[in-house]
Amino acid sequence: MKLTLNTAIVPLLALMAVTRVHHFGSAWSLPDASLAVFFLAGLYVSNRMWLAGLLLAAGLLDYLAINQFNVSDWCMSPAYVFLIPTYGVMWSAGRFCRTLAASGKQEWAVFAASVTLSAIVAFVISNGSFFLFSGRYADMPVASYSLAIAKYLPAYVGWAVAYAVASLAAIKAARVLLQVAGEHKTV
What local confidence, expressed as pLDDT, does residue 72 receive?
82
Percent of the chain with pLDDT over 90: 63
pLDDT at 22 over 70: no
What local confidence, expressed as pLDDT, does residue 92 receive?
96
The whole-number average pLDDT for the span 57-70 is 91
What local confidence, expressed as pLDDT, does residue 21 receive?
72
Q: pTM score, two decimals?
A: 0.89
What local confidence, expressed as pLDDT, does residue 179 receive?
84
What local confidence, expressed as pLDDT, does residue 1 receive?
44
**Average of per-residue pLDDT values in the chain:** 88
3-state secondary structure the chain: CCCCHHHHHHHHHHHHHHHCCCCCCCCCCCCCCHHHHHHHHHHHCCCCHHHHHHHHHHHHHHHHHHHHCCCCCCCCCHHHHHHHHHHHHHHHHHHHHHHHHHCCCCCHHHHHHHHHHHHHHHHHHHHHHHHHHCCCCCCCCHHHHHHHHHCCHHHHHHHHHHHHHHHHHHHHHHHHHHHHHHHHHHC
Determine the length of the chain. 187
Flag the least confident range among 41-55, 64-78, 87-101, 172-186. 172-186
What local confidence, expressed as pLDDT, does residue 176 receive?
87
What local confidence, expressed as pLDDT, does residue 103 receive?
75
pLDDT at 73 over 80: yes
